[in-house]
Amino acid sequence: MVVYQHSDLNLTDDEVDRIFRALADATRRDIMRRALVGEESISDLANGYDMTFAAVQKHITVLEGAGLVTKHRSGRERLIRGNPEAIRKARTLLNTYERIWQGRIDQLDALLTDD
């Protein structure tokens, strides 16, 4: 098991997989966008999609399993809100990959300009 470590990042391969699998689906990205804007009830979220309430709940379960949203009860409603910390971790990981890739490009550039 690989652990991605950075000054403010500590993720296992499984956690990274869950985050990016969750974000790979357009509906889940839209739910995530809406949940980051403000807290919403699952019922209100479900009304915005051409799918069953149960299907929306499954999408939310995937997002919750990835740590991208949190869910809690308020009276009879179940509310979700986005977790900006999880998005920050994903961004930090992508920035790390970008630095690695840029370093490789810089090395290739140095090899090609050495002659």
Contact 79, 34 (CB under 8 A): no
State the CB neighbour count (10 A cutoff) for residue 96.
14
Q: Establish how many alpha carbons lie within 13 A of residue 17's alpha carbon, considering only the half-sphere containing its beta carbon.
A: 6
How confident is the model at residue 103, as a pLDDT?
A: 82
Task: List, for residues 61-88, the tens digit of each pLDDT value.
Answer: 999 999 999 999 989 999 999 999 888 8
CATH of range 12-113; options 3.10.20.90, 1.10.10.60, 1.10.10.10, 2.60.40.2470: 1.10.10.10
Per-residue pLDDT band for 92 (boundaries 50, 70, 90) equals confident
How confident is the model at residue 25, as a pLDDT?
A: 97
Task: List, for residues 10-48, the tens digit of each pLDDT value.
Answer: 778 888 899 999 999 999 999 999 999 999 999 999 998
Contact 80, 42 (CB under 8 A): yes
How confident is the model at residue 66, as a pLDDT?
A: 95
- The model's pTM is 0.79
